[in-house]
Amino acid sequence: METNWSIRLDTEAQTLGDRAATRLRELIHSGVFAPGQQLPAEPELARRLGVSRPTLRAAVAELIADLLLVRRRGVGTFVATTPHPADGLERLVGTGRGIALLGRRPGTTGLRVRHVVADRSLAGDLRIDPGDPVVHISRTRTADGVPVVHCAEWIPADLLPDPTALDGFGTRDSLYDVLADLGLPVRQAVARFVPVLPDPDLRDRLDVAPDVPVLLLEQRHFPATRADRIVLFSRNWYDTRRIDLQAIRRG
Amino acid sequence: METNWSIRLDTEAQTLGDRAATRLRELIHSGVFAPGQQLPAEPELARRLGVSRPTLRAAVAELIADLLLVRRRGVGTFVATTPHPADGLERLVGTGRGIALLGRRPGTTGLRVRHVVADRSLAGDLRIDPGDPVVHISRTRTADGVPVVHCAEWIPADLLPDPTALDGFGTRDSLYDVLADLGLPVRQAVARFVPVLPDPDLRDRLDVAPDVPVLLLEQRHFPATRADRIVLFSRNWYDTRRIDLQAIRRG
């Protein structure tokens, strides 16, 4: 039986070319297209992915540039034989999905949703006014049952249809999905990297000793639809002994 | 007088479309195109950048996706008014150039070039055999005279035209330029982020206290021309109190 590789329309922010490239990456990383294997001919691959040939060509060019595919003139296009890492931090995915992409089982402990008002510092981080209402979500993420990152997240309440919209937020839910459902799909985040020593609360949540530095990622998230708003500010503290943090940097 | 914006051919790894996008980013970040300003009409802009209109269109689409440009239907394309950071770590540039891009004056202290042989660990990092000869470069980078990152770099000696090729490596030289001159332009790097407490040597080089964590970036560099080789392995220790490390994550 022929496998259908067609593209899931999972975000509004991606072009069809981006999605074709993402789908091809998934097919390579999942081993459907194995290292060294020749890709099907262009018309067949375009048909099975459900995209036009120019769109497929753009996606293939992107993966060649990323060294995942190799073109042999007059022969065809092959999956690179060199082991190469999957995408890293440079690609924005939710923390839970990021854990799953590393081949580990994501979980959540200590989920708490609170209504707060922005102090001067948080107002600056969210580009709102001090005193504005904010919904604050706090949770620790586990990988195969081991705590790997503690997440603190803040969303301006005026972006929500009503202040209680997140009160039923579940341990398996994704804030990115919630924002997409609200018509604010997250397009990109500016992440700041800061190594820190854990305070007592964080030591307890991540089960780390006082002299073990953890990596804080401070992130401001921008939606695809409104460049003027920050829809989510987050602080994620990673125990990098238990979860590998990598990024692909491109020249 | 009309300004010439045309593209410098600084790396072989970028397509013309990539370079057009990079040039437009530079024109925006440098303020030549100010926030809110309308871009010149497509034919004029293409001519002044020295690219075709389809190439320009691809570059403009990329910057719209990155929220740097905004298209107003029937009116034109404008520079976004929201302040937005320049590229971050996700874009691979040399350490010295990265410091300059932050608007600071890069410098180098303690430059040392040594000939070593790979132990088992380094051989794994460079994908060579233990005992293979390697050139090791060590230097501390300063920003406006203040030490901000200590860099240790290793290049397999068989990639060099002769073992002494780097003996004259200067404090202002870029290893990326050297590799490009050797026909091995660096295309991408896989970077691993590890927060660490500084050892005595590092404390001395970066002038930090024992309890101040620093951020180690471990990087394997891949060339555009040979996907099977790692051309450079580096360990960079950043004092993030003195230099901001940010990345743009795209969904």
| Rounded Cα distance, B190 and B221, in Å | 7
pLDDT digit string (tens) for chain A, length 251 residues: 455 555 444 443 457 777 788 888 888 877 788 888 899 998 999 888 888 888 898 888 888 777 778 887 778 898 877 655 557 888 898 898 888 877 788 999 999 999 999 999 999 899 899 999 999 999 999 999 999 999 999 999 999 998 888 988 988 888 999 999 888 889 889 999 999 999 999 999 999 999 999 999 999 998 877 667 899 999 999 999 999 899 989 88
pLDDT, one tens digit per residue, over B79-122 is 877 655 557 888 898 898 888 877 788 999 999 999 999 999 99
Q: In this complex, do B190 and A14 lie within 8 Å of one another by their Cβ atoms? A: no
Residue range B16-79 forms a domain whose CATH class is: mainly alpha
Neighbours of A180 (CB within 10 A): 19
Nearest C-alpha in B relative to A187: B251
Q: Give the closest-approach CA distance of A1 to chain B in angstroms.
A: 33
Q: Which CATH superfamily is domain B95-238 in?
A: Chorismate lyase-like (3.40.1410.10)
In B, residues 111-130, which contact A (CB 8 Å cutoff)?
Answer: none
Nearest C-alpha in B relative to A12: B251
Q: In this complex, do B246 and A66 lie within 8 Å of one another by their Cβ atoms? A: no
Domain span(s) for CATH 3.40.1410.10 in chain B: 95-238
- The residues, any chain, with a CB within 8 Å of residue B172's CB and separated by 6 or more, are B96, B108
Q: Give the closest-approach CA distance of A217 to chain B in angstroms.
A: 9
Query: ipTM of this model?
Result: 0.72
Q: What is the DSSP string of B186-247?
A: EEEEEEEEEEEPPPHHHHHHHT--TT--EEEEEEEEEESS-TT---EEEEEEE-TTTS--EE
Domain span(s) for CATH 1.10.10.10 in chain A: 16-79
Nearest C-alpha in B relative to A244: B192
**Does A65 reach chain B within 8 Å, measured CB to CB?**
yes
Q: pTM of the full predicted structure?
A: 0.73
**Cα angle B221-A19-A159, degrees, rounded to a multiple of 5:** 100
Q: Are residues A13 and B67 in contact, defined by beta-carbon separation less than 8 angstroms?
A: no
Q: Are residues B250 and A250 in contact, defined by beta-carbon separation less than 8 angstroms?
A: no
User: What letter represents residue B55's amino acid?
Assistant: T
Strand partners, A152: A138, A235
**Three-state DSSP class for residue A154:** strand
pLDDT digit string (tens) for chain B, length 251 residues: 455 555 444 443 457 777 788 888 888 877 788 888 899 998 999 888 888 888 898 888 888 777 778 787 778 898 877 655 557 888 898 898 888 877 788 999 999 999 999 999 999 899 899 999 999 999 999 999 999 999 999 999 999 998 888 988 988 888 999 999 988 889 889 999 999 999 999 999 999 999 999 999 999 998 877 667 899 999 999 999 999 899 989 88
**Does B244 reach chain A within 8 Å, measured CB to CB?**
yes
Q: Are residues B99 and B106 in contact, defined by beta-carbon separation less than 8 angstroms?
A: yes
The encoded tokens of residue B2 equal 């009309």
Q: In this complex, do A91 and B249 lie within 8 Å of one another by their Cβ atoms? A: yes
Listed as own residue / partner, the contacts of A163-169 with beta carbons closer than 8 Å and 24 or more positions apart are A163/A115, A163/A133, A163/A135, A165/A135, A166/A113, A166/A135, A166/A137, A167/A113, A169/A111, A169/A113, A169/A137
- Say which DSSP state A202 is in: H
Q: In this complex, do B89 and A213 lie within 8 Å of one another by their Cβ atoms? A: no
Name the residue facing A251 among B11, B81, B250 (closest C-beta). Answer: B11
Q: What is the DSSP string of A14-26?
A: S-HHHHHHHHHHH
Nearest C-alpha in A relative to B83: A228
Neighbours of A29 (CB within 10 A): 16
**Does A25 reach chain B within 8 Å, measured CB to CB?**
no
Provide the pLDDT for residue B85: 55
The encoded tokens of residue A97 equal 């999905």
Contacts of A240 in chain B (CB under 8 A): 193-195
The encoded tokens of residue A56 equal 């497929």
